[in-house]
A = this chain, B = another copy of it.
Amino acid sequence: MQAPAAPSPAPSAATPLSYEQAGVVYDLIDPLKVAAQRAAAATATHLGSHGFSEVAASRGESAYVLDVGPFYLASIVECLGSKALVADEMQRLTGRSHYAGIAQDTIAMAINDLITVGATPLVVQAYWAAGGSDWFADNDRAQALVAGWKAACDTCKVAWGGGETPALAGIVEAGRIDLAASCTGIVSPKQRLSLGDALAPGDAIVLLASSGIHANGLSLARKLVERLPQGYLTEVAPGLRYGEALLAPTMLYSPVTEALWAAGIGVHYAANITGHGWRKLLRHPKALTYRIDAVPAVPPVLQFIQAQAGQGNEEAYGTLNMGAGFALFVAAADAERTVAIARAQGVEALVAGRVEAGEKQLLIEPLGVRFGADALHLR
């Protein structure tokens, strides 16, 4: 969800590209994040004055959870990031607006994070901040954004409660739009809460298929374009151009999590695979070994990016989703049924491995890749 600084001259195709070379410098953001996290944590006490309490374990998780009595309330705000820049470029090149897909990507950012705590999403609010009132003058594009937003809400059975459509000349770049979604949901009944208490050795790891790059890794994907003589129009598979492949909308996973609950399957833990690739599987603080023995098919566009960027498997699986958009940790006995239920919702799935007692590590055995405990710093 980051975007690069001004491009430098195109390196040779053999030169690997790292995320930092693509312009994102985490060192500058992180002291702020640390300060913000500390300050935010200190405000938890206010809930007590209303007779409520936060679920402290949710700080550091993908959505914020508080206990309001009969159930938990979960909330989140998530931005889309730079994928809109790819849509803009493809529109310039082909005349086609991809903003219906972009709308789905934005909503998916929020919903796929919210559901990891066991929440049912209820309401989405739209944040569409354009660089000027003229953004909306492209009526086809604006209507595509509306239609796509509604369609994603329909898929996830959430109410689109409203939103903000400001014109922010001077803050948002002319011709661009900053898209974000806030989402509120509930965890009901309370035992549906999945912050990982139940995550344990013996659990199965079920991976849900991605549709492509989703919305993380776009900085890298955009920087690679400089190396391609045909740019975004380069074919990554027969009849499939790079730009269009990148714009495949992010999968919406809440229909799967809702169907699992309805079928009586309790999800022990869930990870939304976004930035940091498969290292997200190491998210929970517990010391556990995650042993993967089967990997999903890699979408052509991700194979292409890995090859173009000259990345080995450790780097590729550590930054891109490589075919897995979401991970579910369920009781081993529920694994096959989980796959079947996902497929019934139109989402391909795979029993990819299992959780074991042991040191904190992720082992992707078919690839000989290992991520240790220090591979993921998200708290």
Contacts and interface: CB of A to CB of B under 8 A. Distances in A.
Contact of A73 (B3, B170, B184): B184
Given A28-B133, A170-B85, A184-B184, A162 B76 contact: yes
A96 interface: no
Contacts of A154: 43, 46
A46 B157 contact: yes
A160 B125 contact: no
Given A43-B158, A46-B159, A26 B133 contact: yes
Interface string A145-186: 011011001100111111111111111110011101010101
Contacts of A5: 132, 169
Nearest to A123: B75
A4 B169 contact: yes
A143 interface: yes
Contacts of A129: 79, 178, 180
24 contacts: A1-B166, A2-B166, A2-B168, A25-B133, A29-B136, A31-B136, A31-B139, A32-B142, A36-B163, A40-B150, A43-B159, A43-B160, A44-B159, A46-B153, A54-B159, A64-B161, A66-B122, A75-B75, A77-B77, A82-B168, A127-B127, A129-B180, A168-B178, A184-B184
A68 B71 CA distance: 10
A129 to B, nearest CB: 6
Interface of A: 1-5, 23-26, 28-29, 31-33, 35-36, 39-40, 42-44, 46-47, 49-50, 52, 54, 59, 64, 66, 68-71, 73, 75-79, 81-82, 84-85, 120, 122-123, 125-127, 129, 132-134, 136-137, 139, 142-143, 146-147, 149-150, 153-154, 157-173, 176-178, 180, 182, 184, 186
A56 to B, nearest CB: 11
B170 A133 contact: no
A161 B60 CA distance: 10
B168 A23 contact: no
Given A50-B157, A78-B164, A79-B168, A133 B64 contact: no
Nearest to A158: B46
A31 B141 CA distance: 12
A33 B163 CA distance: 10
A161 B63 CA distance: 8
A70 B133 CA distance: 41
Contact of A162 (B40, B120, B137, B169): B40
B126 A36 contact: yes
A47 B25 CA distance: 41
A39 B167 contact: no
9 cross-chain pairs, A with B, having the tightest CB-CB distances, nearest first: A64-B161, A182-B182, A40-B160, A39-B150, A46-B157, A77-B125, A25-B133, A3-B170, A3-B169
Q: Which of A28, A42, A126, A170 has the most CB of B within 10 A?
A: A170
A73 B171 contact: no
A76 to B, nearest CB: 7
A157 B36 contact: no
Contacts of A177: 171
Nearest to A78: B164
A30 to B, nearest CB: 9
A136 B34 CA distance: 12
